[in-house]
Amino acid sequence: MAITTVLPNLQRSVAEFLGKPRKMLVDGKWVEAASGKTFETYNPATGEVLAHVAEGDREDIDRAVKAARRAFESGPWPAMSPSERGRLLLKLADLLESHLEEFAELETLDNGKPVFFSRIVDIPTAVDVFRYMAGWATKVEGSTIPISAHGAQYFAYTLREPLGVVGQIIPWNFPMIMASWKLAPALAVGCTVVLKPAEQTPLTALRLGELALEAGFPDGVLNIVTGFGETAGAALAAHPDVDKVAFTGSTEVGKLILGAATGNLKKVSLELGGKSPNIVFPDADLQAAIPGAANAIFFNQGQCCTAGSRLFVHKSIFDEVVDGVAQAAKRFTIGPGLDPSTNLGPVVSKEQLDRVCGYLESGIREGAKAVVGGHKRSGSGYFVEPTVLVDVKPEMKVVREEIFGPVVTAIPFSEPEEVVRSANHTVYGLAAAVWTRDISKAHRVAAKLRAGTVWINCYNVFDPALPFGGYKQSGWGREMGHAVLELYTETKAVCAQL
């Protein structure tokens, strides 16, 4: 493979990793797909082939699920104490941290994002999530319950038990962070896992699998099957011996996962799309709100499920805010993620580029105006200009649908009640933000917004301790914080007659 000549400054470990076809992790071993097939991943900055990866399908999923079942029921994992499980997760976090540069480079090559962000956001966040969840391993508790049944005395209590074999399907926008959000809590409570990374970005998850073996996770506890959504992903969601499927991705695919899960009524948690309202009131600190609004949409090339893609601005400051966001868009240095001066990279794939451009065309056709941007960048790689659309109407596709690219629609409003109504006028309910100096108004509006997260005078602030998930069609369940324990444990009531 010509990868090292195309990218001469790669770290040696990264070049070596890319130089070999990547296998899947099943039952503690690196294996090829049963079919022997592989697929290619691409460098979004150039469109060139980056790596060859095993193309798992139904049979591979089945092998992985069998390994996960064995590891859940027998061998060292179920015998391990909570503290030992916590220590394994801490060790994995330490290993990941000690390979930070390597992971950052790999993430940027695979996903396209500026390496600056991979280095200070993606990989450190994943490390933090593993550490935070390691702490929960020893803190999953049941309770004793006074009961009033007649005729005898009883002692009743609850046990919180690991749910079993978990299938986890993750997207490409934050490959390592999503892997950590899924793996860390499931492993902390004692589940075993089959992880299916996105076909666009499987590389850091596979490298993480190597570190998990080095950390000492027993065979079969963590399996990683690479492959496509409609084949490997669908087989995992439908597998009759999987106890739970956890998914992050589009609402459309979330509904397919739900359908596939009905066969054995496996538990389902979903973290899906969004069309998040970002509301700027006239009394906001615009020095903070304007860059905040720009980052809310342009961070990660707009490929965030929480992207602040509907910017509601009070009409008295509309022109000033829109102009400020447009100026911020113009200041981005667009380029390959590995270039240290880049702060806006390519979108993840050709398919995504076409999708975002399709939305831009539909918006303009329906009467929207691009104050800045509006096009893809010519030349190789999947680059889209950061775009601010005005003159939009509520019924336009660009206002209603998730674009998942660096495109914001700016909408003027007059009254707080009106903007709350407009903000909630969406099938989604993942996140929202409010910018104002009036703390009463901030909290009143926060209470009325139908969203799983509301930020006040900030945006995209995440923490492993803060529960995250969606209202409405943005999902089922909450990840992170202690809320996530609900997703990976069953409660057993035990009642003894005394």
305 has catalytic annotation: yes
Q: How far apart are CA 207 and CA 192, in angstroms?
A: 19
Size of the site for ligand ADP (CB under 6 A): 17
CA separation for the pair 401, 251 (Å, rounded): 11
Give the whole-angstrom CA distance, residue 378 versus residue 233.
Answer: 34
Q: Hey, which residues between 147 and 186 contact ligand ADP (CB under 6 A)?
A: 169-171
Is 487 strand, coil or helix?
helix
Residue 271 annotated as catalytic: yes
State which amino acid sits at residue 420: V
Q: Cα(136)–Cα(464) distance, rounded to whole angstroms?
A: 11
Contact code string over 95-124 relative to ligand ADP, x by CB under 6 A:
------------------------------
Least distance (Å) between residue 356 CB and ligand ADP: 11
| Secondary structure of 2-54 in HEC code, one letter for each residue | CHHHHCCCCCHHHHHHHHCCECEEECCEEECCCCCCEEEEEECCCCEEEEEEE
Reduced to 3 states (helix: H, G, I; strand: E, B; else coil), residue 369 is strand
**Alpha carbon distance 43, 201 (integer Å):** 10
Q: Looking at beta carbons only, is 178 or 317 nearer to ligand ADP?
A: 178
Choice between 44 and 218, CB closer to ligand ADP:
44
354 touches ligand ADP (CB under 6 A): no
What Å distances lie between residue 314 and 320, 417, 419, 423, CA to CA? 10, 12, 9, 13
Of the ranges 92-100, 180-188, 231-239, 481-489, which one interacts with ligand ADP (CB under 6 A)?
Answer: 231-239
Q: How far is the CB of 268 from ligand ADP (least distance, A)?
A: 12
b/e per residue, 433-445, with b = 16+ CB within 10 A?
A: bbbbeeeeebeeb
321 touches 355 (CB < 8 A): no
> Which of 238, 432 has the CB closer to ligand ADP?
238
Q: Are 144 and 157 within 8 A, CB to CB?
A: yes
Which listed residue (199, 271, 385, 402) is catalytic?
271
Q: Which is nearer to ligand ADP, 179 or 368 (CB)?
A: 179
Residues in 241-260 at the binding interface with ligand ADP, rule: CB under 6 A: 249-250, 253, 256-257
Q: Which stretch binds ligand ADP (CB under 6 A): 194-202, 389-397, 465-473, 475-483?
A: 194-202
Instruction: Kindly tell me which residue out of 233, 274, 277, 337 binds ligand ADP, with binding defined by CB under 6 A.
Output: 233
Q: What are phi and psi of 112, to 5 degrees?
A: 105, -20
The answer to whether residue 199 forms part of the interface with ligand ADP (CB under 6 A) is: yes
Interface region with ligand ADP, contact rule CB under 6 A, candidates 88-96, 125-133, 195-203, 485-493: 195-203
Beta carbon nearer to ligand ADP, 92 or 253: 253
Nearer of residues 190 and 406 to ligand ADP, judged by Cβ:
406
Instruction: Write down the catalytic residue from 107, 191, 304, 305.
Output: 305
What residues act catalytically? 271, 305
Q: Which residues bind ligand ADP (CB under 6 A)?
A: 169-171, 196, 198-199, 228-230, 233-234, 237, 249-250, 253, 256-257
